[in-house]
Structure 1
Amino acid sequence: MAQRSRTSRHALTAAVATAALALTLAACGSDSGSGSASHGHSGHGSTMPGMDHGTTTPSPSTSDDAMAGMPGMDGAAAGNGLAAAQDGYRLTPATASLPAGKATDYRFSITGPDGKPVTAFAVDQTKRMHFYAVRSDLSGFQHLHPTMAGDGTWTAPLESLEPGAWRLYTSFTPDSGSGKGKDLVLSRTVKVPGTATATPLPKASATTTVDGYTVTVKGDPMAGMAHQMTATVTKDGKPVTDLQPYLETYAHLTAFHQGDLAFAHLHPETEVDGDHGGPTLTFHAEFPRSGDWRLFLQFQTAGTLHTAALTLNVG
């Protein structure tokens, strides 16, 4: 019914230059911390540096453009999803800030090597564009599928955002031009004004619970190496076998690195066979860096989408 996701999806570079990471952190306003996986939600703890008392952070648009224009940065950071441009393709937003506390639309376009908006995109897992919003302390997460107007302008309907720094990712494959067939992940940072507080990142754990479901992840990934990981879903101590297809798979797994917010899209390997997936799902995993990663596993039962989050330490 569904095909295994391409294993080449979003190939990740093994390392990013220290100076580039420092600039990325400055643009993102990153701290170490996390909390709930609920969309647009963040916990409250210590005040995030540089985000209170009216302190001004660098313009995300300016910072990201500077990164993309640095020698060697048009592709180096892009392997981790941290660049605004790669191979002549650029994420061009309509704004560098978004309001706090209410749903809002984020509009952007992808311009090609010719400087014109790209309008031809290949379909991957039923969508032409996958869009992620992640707060700098990993406490907020949204996975959306924007709509595109005829002129190439995309609109992502974001749920309410907590104050702070957020990184917005676009994952796509051009279906024409020099980048045809190449998987790209481009991102930019945005500032959500207001007093921002950070939540410490939950400790690494193989198990988490969401909406009454318990998710257990197994695998010992090492940075820069391909590994197989499994996720098992249970409820009330019993195996769950009624997972429904979601984006041509039984679960969608995404991970972000603590600190620099490097992106890792983990590829599902379990084939879909009707509305009775589970309890164990298999993923092809490649993490470019060691350290703590925040994993977001999305799965569907009885028409309801669940998002489970847990912290994984990669050696």
Structure 2
Amino acid sequence: MSAHPRPISSRRRALAAAATTAVLALTLAACGGSGDDAMPGMDHGAKAHASHAPLATGAKGHDMAGMKHTASDDGLAAEKNGYRFSTASPVLPVGKAAAYRFTITGPDGKPVTAFSVEQTKRLHFYAIRSDLTGFQHIHPTMASDGTWTAPLTALQPGIWRMYASFTPDSGPDKGEDFVLSTTTTVPGTAPSTALPKASASTTVDGYTVTVTGRPMESMAHPLTVTVTKDGKPVTDLEPYLDTYAHLTAFHAGDQALAHLHPETQVSGGRGGPSLTFHAELPKAGDWRLFLQFQTAGTLHTAAITMNVG
């Protein structure tokens, strides 16, 4: 959980190739307009935008299309195979920026400091509230002792889940993908907003994002994302994290994370309008997808709800 932009491994390319025979129609959903779709707090990069108002992975184990995932593949565990996500920030202040510090310790109990570069970064960090609002995707910095610091923007009250997506570059499970997470409390009253209903497309910052395809529980299927503006295809998507768009999904109810890996290769400075992703979502029900793409140096984040059968 995965949940998820990075170079695609040969294993994932093989899976994606096997999945391309399964394209079907998909029902998706999103917020109503640009302001609602972007949702306060959504961003992807060294800085995250603030959540101004309170609002309601790649998982391992998919060596064969249709293989069932285990609970440890959904990014909800703080420990797996001896690797542990530990934080010194179990409580964060409400309504203001905060430095969230954590470490990844290995099976020997020592902080891990050797990480493989994935999608141009050694570690991808995500924060999302229990109602799947306030999404932040940050690339934290690591000190020499293995302590990571993620600069979070203002958080609204509630229970937040923090995820670390990484690949050890030494020791046990070298080269294996991990997504570990833990929860953090932001004190105060936490009103929630219901998850938006399904629809085939959404808009953000004047762009219309349409998704086709129909993933089934624990089965590999491709999703195609098409970006248009004013009814015209968008062909100026800029490379971002070694791809033209980044797609992360969170399961409604338990916040399981899944990365939807890009299949469309970067072939120049301009991409679009259509991009294909390898989708393998381990649970049925509603998922909230966050698509991030960049044009003219500006990062856009579209939020979409998808139902998986």
Instruction: Provide the TM-score with structure 2 as the length reference.
Output: 0.81
Name the residue aligned to 2:296.
302
In structure 2, relative to structure 1, the CA distance for the partners of 1:35 and 1:166 (3 Å cut) is: farther
Task: Work out whether residues 36 and 139 of structure 1, in 8 Å CA contact, stay in contact via their aligned partners in 2.
Answer: no
Name the residue aligned to 2:39.
37
For residues 244 and 115 of structure 1, what CA distance do their matches in structure 2 show?
A: 41
Q: Say whether 1:84 aligns with 2:69.
A: no
Partner of residue 6 from structure 1, selected from 6, 9, 12: 9
For residues 93 and 45 of structure 1, what CA distance do their matches in structure 2 show?
A: 25
The 3-state SS of whatever aligns with 1:198 is coil
Partner of residue 246 from structure 1, selected from 213, 235, 240: 240
Runs of 4+ in structure 1 off by over 4 angstroms are 42-46
For residues 292 and 247 of structure 2, what CA distance do their matches in structure 1 show?
A: 6
In structure 2, relative to structure 1, the CA distance for the partners of 1:100 and 1:45 (3 Å cut) is: closer
For residues 132 and 289 of structure 1, what CA distance do their matches in structure 2 show?
A: 20
Q: Say whether 1:259 aligns with 2:269.
A: no
In structure 2, relative to structure 1, the CA distance for the partners of 1:234 and 1:152 (3 Å cut) is: same
Partner of residue 224 from structure 2, selected from 230, 243, 246: 230
RCO (CA 8 Å, sep 6+): is it higher in 1 or 2?
A: 2
For residues 235 and 45 of structure 1, what CA distance do their matches in structure 2 show?
A: 27
Deviations 1:228-273 (A, max 9, x none): 0000000000000000000000000000000000111000011112
In structure 2, relative to structure 1, the CA distance for the partners of 1:165 and 1:7 (3 Å cut) is: farther
For residues 252 and 163 of structure 2, what CA distance do their matches in structure 1 show?
A: 16
For residues 200 and 134 of structure 1, what CA distance do their matches in structure 2 show?
A: 15
The 3-state SS of whatever aligns with 1:78 is helix
For residues 163 and 185 of structure 1, what CA distance do their matches in structure 2 show?
A: 24
Deviations 1:182-239 (A, max 9, x none): 1000000000011111001000122010000000000111001000000000000000
Q: Which letter does structure 2 place at the counterpart of 1:41?
A: S
The 3-state SS of whatever aligns with 1:278 is coil
In structure 2, relative to structure 1, the CA distance for the partners of 1:292 and 1:210 (3 Å cut) is: same
For residues 127 and 55 of structure 2, what CA distance do their matches in structure 1 show?
A: 21
- The alpha carbon displacement at 1:290 in A equals 0.7
Partner of residue 268 from structure 2, selected from 251, 271, 274: 274
Name the residue aligned to 1:96.
90
Gaps of 5+ in 2: 13-35, 42-49, 57-68
In structure 2, relative to structure 1, the CA distance for the partners of 1:287 and 1:45 (3 Å cut) is: closer
For residues 38 and 212 of structure 2, what CA distance do their matches in structure 1 show?
A: 21
Q: Say whether 1:208 aligns with 2:210.
A: no
For residues 120 and 242 of structure 1, what CA distance do their matches in structure 2 show?
A: 35
For residues 118 and 4 of structure 1, what CA distance do their matches in structure 2 show?
A: 22
- The alpha carbon displacement at 1:90 in A equals 0.3
- The alpha carbon displacement at 1:173 in A equals 0.4
In structure 2, relative to structure 1, the CA distance for the partners of 1:4 and 1:116 (3 Å cut) is: closer
Q: Which letter does structure 1 place at the counterpart of 2:81?
A: D
The 3-state SS of whatever aligns with 1:228 is strand
Gaps of 5+ in 1: 10-33, 47-74
Count the aligned residue pairs.
262
- The alpha carbon displacement at 1:296 in A equals 0.1
In structure 2, relative to structure 1, the CA distance for the partners of 1:133 and 1:264 (3 Å cut) is: same
For residues 171 and 249 of structure 1, what CA distance do their matches in structure 2 show?
A: 17
Instruction: Provide the TM-score with structure 1 as the length reference.
Output: 0.80
- The alpha carbon displacement at 1:77 in A equals 2.9
Name the residue aligned to 2:44.
none
For residues 215 and 271 of structure 1, what CA distance do their matches in structure 2 show?
A: 19
The 3-state SS of whatever aligns with 2:144 is coil
- The alpha carbon displacement at 1:179 in A equals 2.0
Task: Work out whether residues 37 and 302 of structure 2, in 8 Å CA contact, stay in contact via their aligned partners in 1.
Answer: no
For residues 7 and 101 of structure 1, what CA distance do their matches in structure 2 show?
A: 43
In structure 2, relative to structure 1, the CA distance for the partners of 1:178 and 1:45 (3 Å cut) is: closer
- The alpha carbon displacement at 1:128 in A equals 0.2
In structure 2, relative to structure 1, the CA distance for the partners of 1:45 and 1:231 (3 Å cut) is: closer
The 3-state SS of whatever aligns with 2:73 is helix
Name the residue aligned to 2:215.
221
